[in-house]
Amino acid sequence: MRKHIFNAGPCKLSDSLLKNTAEAILDLNGIGQSILEVSHRGKDFQAVMDETVELMKEVLSIPTGYSVLFLGGGASMQFAMIPYNFLKTKAFYVNTGTWSKKALKEAKLWGEVVEVSSEDKNYTYYPKGYDIPNDVDYVHITTNNTIRGTEIFEDLSVNAPLIADFSSDFLSRPVDVSKYAMIYGGAQKNLGPAGVTFVIIKDSLLEKVVADRKIPTMLQYGTHIDGGSMFNTPPVVNIFAVRETLKWVKSMGGVVAMEKIAKERAELLYNAIDSSNMFESPVVKEDRSRMNIVFVMKDKYKEKEADFIAFAGEKNCVGLKGHRSVGGFRASTYNASTMEDVQALVNAMKDFEAKNA
C-alpha cells in the first residue's frame, strides 16, 4: 500500500510519473535502450526535452517572449545566478523566511539590498502594502514559504522586473506569467524529482545583464537559452519525470483543477486544526499556505508531539515532522497529494485527540 506522504520535498509524486519513469529507465519507447543509456542529443531524448518545454508553456499559459530552461544546481544556484547576472546597484527582496533569506544573502555580495520582512512576527504572515524604491534593478519574492507555511496568491504588479522563487507552489494555481520577468524553482516539490531546476525567463530580461561584469559561461542565462538547456549534459531522467508531471497535471484538468483540489485539501485540514482543542496553526488565516500546512500542539499538550508523529505513522501518515527550525508539524500537500491522504491525517488527529485530551 502507498503511504500518505506529507514530506516537504522530495515529496509525493503522481503514480503515473513513477510508473512511466520506471519503464523508461528499463526501456525507452521500446528501443532496447534505457533512457540512462541514450545520447541526450539523439532524437529520442530531444523529443522528451521538446515536449517538456511545450507542455510547460501550455500548462502554465506562458506567453511568447519567454524561454523555459531546465538547469542544475537547484533553486539555491538561482539565488546566486540572479544577482550575479542582474544586480547592478540595488535590488528589493521580500523576506518571508529561510529561503528568501538565503536568496538575499547572495544578493548582498553584489549590491545594496532593500528588504521588507515578516521576521518581526516570526514569519507568520506575508508582507503587503510596502513601497518599492524606483531605482531597483529587480524585485525578488518567494511565493510560498515552505518552512513557515505562508503563501501569496496574487501576481504582483511592480515597477521593476519581478523575479519569483516558485519552488513550492508551482503549478498549484493559474499564474499570470506576464507579470514576472522570471519564475524559477527546484523541481522536487510540485514538479518532479530533485536534481533539476526550472527557469521561465523573459527573453528581454537578458538586456538587463550587468554589462561590465565577467560571468562564468555556465552561470549566464544566455548560455542556456542558446543551448536549449543542453549546453552541458542535462539530467535526462529528471526531465523525463517532469514531463510526466506536466502530462498528469494536464490530464487532471490543468492548473485550474490543481487550485481547486489544493483549496479543498487545505480547507479540510485547516478546519480540523481550527476546530481542535489540541492543535493550532501559528499562521494568520489570510496568508496560510495551501502547500505546507504548519501546525503545533497547544502549550498544555506540547510534550505529546512526538507521540502524535508515532501515532500518525501507525496510520500510514508519514513526513509530518515540522522543519527543524520551527518544530511542531508540517503537512505538505502538494499537487499529487489527495483528499484521501488528508482525510487519513485528519482522522489520525481526531483519534489521537479523543485518546489524549
Q: Does 75 bind ligand PLP (CB under 6 A)?
A: yes
Partnered with residue 295 across adjacent β-strands are 329
Query: Exactly one of 16, 33, 76, 223 binds ligand PLP (CB under 6 A); which one?
Result: 76
Q: For residue 99, indicate whether it is catalytic.
A: yes
Task: Considering only residues 213 through 252, tell me which ones interact with ligand PLP, judged by CB under 6 A.
Answer: none
Mask: binding to ligand PLP, 128-147, rule CB under 6 A, as x and -?
--------------x---x-
Of 161-169, 209-217, 224-232, 347-355: span binding ligand PLP (CB under 6 A): 161-169
- Is the CB of residue 287 less than 8 Å from the CB of residue 151? yes
Of the pair 124, 167, the CB lying nearest ligand PLP is at 167
118 lies in the site for ligand PLP, by CB under 6 A? no
Q: What is the CA radius of gyration of the chain?
A: 21
From 54-62, 86-94, 112-120, 164-172, span contacting ligand PLP (CB under 6 A)? 164-172
Contact 268, 346 (CB under 8 A): yes
Q: For residue 93, state whether it binds ligand PLP (rule: CB under 6 A).
A: no
| DSSP state letters, 6-68 | --SSS----HHHHHHHHHHHH-STTSSS-GGGS-TTSHHHHHHHHHHHHHHHHHTTPPTTEEE
Q: Rounded to an integer, what distance in angstroms lies between the CA atom of residue 145 and that of residue 222?
A: 29
Cis peptide before 282 (omega within 30 of 0): no
Q: Does residue 149 belong to the site contacting ligand PLP (CB under 6 A)?
A: no
Closest CA to 173 of 183, 186, 159: 183
Query: What is the total count of residues that contact ligand PLP (CB under 6 A)?
Result: 12
Name the catalytic one among 12, 88, 189, 247. 189
12 part of the active site: no
Among 4, 5, 7, 9, binds ligand PLP (CB under 6 A): 9
Residue pair 332/290 in contact (Cβ under 8 Å)? The answer is: no
189 catalytically annotated: yes
Nearer to ligand PLP, 18 or 77 (CB): 77
Q: State the amino acid at position 212 in one-letter form.
A: D
Q: Give residues in contact with ligand PLP (CB under 6 A).
A: 9, 74-76, 99, 142, 146, 165, 167-168, 186, 189
